């Protein structure tokens, strides 16, 4: 089966072709216009998707040496995400589906992030635990089979990616925050400042990152009066360390509580190299999967892959489906 995937949930315009479970092309265009505003401007993002979609989809077909008439299905992100940007992808996908009389399937972006791990490791088998860490979500899931997912814990306030982005803004390190904090932290001391680790001692598998952000704000309030033995790189490294400590400790607890041998990490924050190293070090006897960097951050390969899986299972969407900006993953 040949499936085109389209992803426009935020500021990446992406298209990909999946053929029988294998990705044969994946094109991602990251919108750079938002950098000067320090965050994604929804209206600009939507206009940019409108402008780019046709070219990106054509490129994905060309790279796969295919044309529109070869498609057996179209998969598109339905949510969660920005309503305007989601709408651009959905309208484009519906137009194609109608014009080509090809089935369409609406895909949950979060579920697709998790399923990117099957692309990273085709040997991956259920059951496994997933630490899902994106810009808007921080969740721990127990996945027993397709559509059999249990939410074990989630953030009570900010997501880990949001903590990176807000921290970078406070430190004036630029957008997007995750990569810029990671880069600055490479030259800093992670033990320079002991930032709070929210809920780390609690038995629950929930997370909290808002106290960490507030603590950074207070620290920076009188930074200009402090002696500069502690550099911005030290602060970035200490801040990153606090986030990574919490994420890895909660994952370890979930793996231990559920006596599971396999865990996967999904979402943009999974691209963080220090997080990867720490989790591998904490779980030496477990199977730990991190997708390659392009499959961690937003991409259409994960949409095409999950879409194909669902179409093969006999599912499809009616043409009148709408955007679901707050779409959640169903708990089993
Ligand atoms: O999954 P994603 O690309 O988009 C959403 O679905 O939200 O995640 C974006 C988030 C942003 O908050 C970004 O700062 C973070 O992932 N991120 C990182 C890294 N690369 C992206 N966080 C930490 N380290 C990174 N290398
Ligand atoms: Zn995402």
Is pLDDT of 226 > 90?
no
In the three-class reduction of DSSP (H, G, I as helix; E, B as strand; rest coil), residue 254 is classed as helix
CATH architecture of the domain with range 2-113+296-312: 2-Layer Sandwich (3.30)
The predicted model gives 242-250 an average pLDDT of 97
The response to whether residue 291 sits with its C-beta less than 6 Å from ligand 1 reads no
pLDDT range class, residue 36, cuts 50, 70, 90: confident
Task: Give the integer Cα–Cα distance in Å for 302 and 292.
Answer: 12
H-type helices in 20-145, by residue range?
42-63, 83-100, 109-120
Q: In this structure, is the dihedral angle defined by the CA atoms of residues 301, 306, 311 and 312, taken in order, positive or negative?
A: positive
CA-wise closest residue to 178 among 247, 115, 78, 130: 247
- Whole-number pLDDT of residue 228: 72
For residue 9, the model assigns a pLDDT of 98
Instruction: Please report, for the chain, the start and end positions of each structural domain, with discontinuous segments joined by +.
Output: 2-113+296-312, 125-294
Over residues 46-96, the pLDDT tens digits come to 999 999 999 999 999 999 999 999 999 999 999 999 999 999 999 999 999
Residue 5 in this model has a pLDDT that exceeds 90: yes
| Residues, CB-to-ion distance under 5 Å, ligand 2 | 134, 298
Q: Is the CB of 80 under 6 A from ligand 1?
A: no
- 227 pLDDT more than 80: no
Q: Whose CA is nearest to atom 8 of ligand 1?
A: 268
pLDDT of 332 over the 80 cut: no
Q: To the nearest 10°, report the CA torsion of 252, 258, 259, 263.
A: -50
What DSSP character marks residue 39?
S
Identify the band that residue 20 occupies on the pLDDT scale cut at 50, 70 and 90: very high
Are 316 and 285 a contacting pair, CB within 8 Å? no
Nearest ligand to residue 271 Cα: 1
What DSSP string runs through 207-236?
A: B--HHHHHHHHHHHHTGGGS-TTS-HHHHH
Ligand nearest to the CA of 178: 1
- Lowest-confidence segment of 7-16, 217-226, 301-310 by average pLDDT: 217-226
Taking only the tens place, the pLDDT of each residue in 185-221 is: 999 999 999 999 999 988 899 999 999 999 999 999 8
Name the residue with the closest Cα to ligand 1, atom 10: 135
pLDDT digits (tens, 9 = 90+) for 288-324: 999 999 999 999 999 999 999 999 999 999 999 999 9
Give the pair of three-digit tokens for residue 260: 């599971």
Architecture of the structural domain at 125-294: 2-Layer Sandwich (3.30)
- pLDDT of residue 253 exceeding 90: yes
Spatial distance between the Cα atoms of 290 and 28, rounded to a whole number of angstroms: 19
> How far apart, in whole angstroms, are the C-alpha atoms of residue 16 and residue 45?
19
Our mutation pick for probing the ligand 1 site, out of 178, 183, 212, 301, counting the most ligand atoms within 8 A of Cβ, is 178
Identify the pLDDT of residue 37: 86
Give pTM, 2 decimals: 0.94
Check if 2-113+296-312 and 125-294 are the same fold.
yes
Higher pLDDT, 84 or 37: 84
pLDDT of residue 152: 97
């Amino acid at each position: 089966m040949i499936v085109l995937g389209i992803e426009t949930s935020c500021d990446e315009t992406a298209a990909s072709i999946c053929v029988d479970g294998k990705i044969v092309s994946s094109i991602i265009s990251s919108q750079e216009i938002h950098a000067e505003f320090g965050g994604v401007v929804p209206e600009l993002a939507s206009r940019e998707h409108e402008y780019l979609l046709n070219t990106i989809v054509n490129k994905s077909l060309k790279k796969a040496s295919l044309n529109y008439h070869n498609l057996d299905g179209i998969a598109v992100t339905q949510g969660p995400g920005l309503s305007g940007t989601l709408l651009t992808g959905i309208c484009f996908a519906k137009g194609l589906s109608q014009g080509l009389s090809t089935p369409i399937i609406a895909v949950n972006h979060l579920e697709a992030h998790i399923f990117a791990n099957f692309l990273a490791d085709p040997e991956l088998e259920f059951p496994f635990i997933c630490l899902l860490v994106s810009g808007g979500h921080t969740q721990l899931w127990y996945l027993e089979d397709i559509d059999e997912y249990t939410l074990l814990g989630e953030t009570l306030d900010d997501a880990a990616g949001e903590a990176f982005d807000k921290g970078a803004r406070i430190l004036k390190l630029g957008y997007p925050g995750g990569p810029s904090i990671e880069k600055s932290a490479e030259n800093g001391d992670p033990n320079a400042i002991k930032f709070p680790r929210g809920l780390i001692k609690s038995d629950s598998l929930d997370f909290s990152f808002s106290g960490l952000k507030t603590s950074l704000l207070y620290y920076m309030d009188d930074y200009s009066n402090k002696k500069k033995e502690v550099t911005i790189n030290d602060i970035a490294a200490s801040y990153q360390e606090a986030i990574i400590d919490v994420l890895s400790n909660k994952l370890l607890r979930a793996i231990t509580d559920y006596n599971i041998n396999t865990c996967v990490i999904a979402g943009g924050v999974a691209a963080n190299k220090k997080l990867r190293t720490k989790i591998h070090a904490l779980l030496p006897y477990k199977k730990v999967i991190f997708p390659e960097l392009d499959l961690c951050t937003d991409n259409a390969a994960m949409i095409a892959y999950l879409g194909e899986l669902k179409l093969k299972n006999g599912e499809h969407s009616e043409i009148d489906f709408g955007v679901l900006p707050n779409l959640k993953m169903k708990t089993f």
